[in-house]
């Protein structure tokens, strides 16, 4: 046997062994990092659940019901941290995607409005909360102000309450069902709890990217755009037109998100708002994350070029990973690539 070939073979084996050991070491390091990250996330999540358990909350399902997988997760993992969700919040008769009959959904919401709890928190969105507004507007304005939390389909309730019961605090933020899937990252929840616990007077949402010339001009020249917040899910905002809960956009910073629509339908809905005069007096438009929609940024950028108002986009709120809270009627300032949200003092 030629010694040169043997030598080459040995070097090949040695090189492979070294490469294999290095690959194993890298994989081990990655595994360690993932374990550390998971441990950290679990600790953050546990802290959030424990903080939530200390709050006096009415859990309501005014739209679609909670999926059975969440109930299983609640019983297995969430409940042990002290967060108690009443059995009626889990009712899901799936009547055309409604959690229950209109009458039963309204009775539970009415009970929550008149209860001693400080917070009314929607379990999830889905479909149907707008059908409760006719009953809601007949209700005498409650003497006790509360906090209403939800987004997506809950936008209908958010708009009505924020525009008619202005002493209430209405927050576009994650809902209870998202606790099981950890769909929204923990800083969003932590900030929301800071607001609910009156720990902060203001907060900042960064990462705003201008979509048109007016947005770029405001950013580059250091101008401040001031206005109160309103908005929510685009489909529900458009549905509010010519109703008793029609969105009021005058002098507002309008935030908008949606999910699982097509980019052309989003463009069409925005054009409808423009044609209806809802964008003529806004101070700025801030688009969030549109999950399940391909090419939406291209369509939104084209739309932004057609309106005479600063337009921005961010991934910090919506149906995606991030869903930082946005407080309706809060005085807010857009400067550079950030929006500062000022909170009213709580009694």
Q: Could you give the CA distance from residue 306 to residue 114 in angstroms, rounded to a whole number?
A: 45
Q: For residue range 231-288, list pLDDT tens digits in order.
A: 999 999 999 999 999 999 999 999 999 999 999 999 999 999 999 999 999 999 999 9
**In Å, how far are 80, 94, 123, 126 from 99, measured between CA atoms?**
25, 5, 11, 9
Identify the pLDDT of residue 178. 86
Identify the pLDDT of residue 67. 87
Q: For residue range 119-154, list pLDDT tens digits in order.
A: 999 999 999 999 999 999 999 999 899 999 999 999
Cβ–Cβ < 8 Å for 28, 90: no
Task: For residue 212, give every residue at least 6 positions away whose Cβ sits within 8 Å of its Cβ, in sequence order, or none.
Answer: 301, 304, 305, 307, 310, 311
Length of the chain: 347
- CATH 3.50.30.60 location in the chain: 202-342
Identify the pLDDT of residue 63. 97
Known catalytic residues are 152, 257, 319
- CATH 3.40.50.10740 location in the chain: 55-183
Identify the pLDDT of residue 30. 52
Q: Which CATH number fits domain 55-183: 3.40.50.10740, 3.40.718.10, 1.10.3210.10, 3.40.50.2000?
A: 3.40.50.10740
Identify the pLDDT of residue 22. 63
The stretches in the chain having pLDDT less than 70 are 1-41, 181-184, 345-347
Which CATH number is associated with domain 202-342? 3.50.30.60
């Amino acid at each position: 046997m030629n010694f040169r070939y043997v030598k080459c073979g040995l070097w090949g084996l040695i090189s492979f062994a070294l490469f294999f050991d290095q690959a194993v070491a890298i994989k081990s390091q990655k595994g360690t990092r993932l374990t550390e990250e998971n441990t950290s996330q679990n600790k953050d999540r546990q802290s959030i659940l424990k903080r939530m358990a200390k709050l006096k909350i009415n859990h309501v399902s005014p739209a679609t019901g909670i999926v059975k997988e969440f109930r299983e997760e609640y019983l297995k993992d969430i409940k042990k941290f002290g967060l108690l969700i009443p059995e009626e919040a889990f009712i899901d008769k799936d009547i055309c995607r409604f959690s229950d009959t209109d009458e039963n959904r309204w009775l539970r919401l009415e009970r929550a409005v008149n209860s001693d709890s400080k917070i009314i928190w929607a379990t999830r969105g889905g479909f149907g909360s707008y059908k409760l507004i006719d009953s809601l507007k007949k209700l005498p304005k409650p003497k006790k102000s509360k906090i209403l939390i939800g987004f997506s389909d809950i936008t209908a309730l958010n708009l009505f309450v924020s525009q008619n019961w202005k002493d209430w605090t209405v927050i576009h933020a994650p809902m209870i069902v998202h606790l099981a899937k950890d769909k929204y990252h923990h800083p969003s929840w932590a900030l929301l709890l800071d607001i609910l616990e009156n720990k902060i007077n203001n907060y900042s949402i960064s990462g705003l990217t201008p979509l048109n010339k007016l947005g770029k001009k405001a950013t580059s020249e250091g101008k401040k755009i001031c206005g109160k917040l309103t908005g929510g899910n685009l489909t529900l905002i458009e549905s509010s037109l010519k109703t008793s809960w029609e969105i009021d956009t005058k002098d507002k910073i309008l935030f908008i998100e949606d999910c699982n629509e097509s980019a052309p339908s989003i463009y069409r809905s925005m054009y409808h708002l423009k044609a209806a005069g809802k964008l003529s007096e806004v101070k700025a438009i801030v688009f969030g994350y549109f999950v399940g929609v391909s090419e939406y940024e291209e369509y939104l950028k084209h739309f932004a070029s057609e309106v005479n108002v600063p337009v921005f986009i961010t991934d910090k709120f919506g149906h995606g990973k991030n869903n930082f809270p946005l407080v309706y009627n809060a005085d807010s300032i857009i400067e550079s690539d950030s929006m500062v949200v000022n909170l009213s003092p709580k009694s």
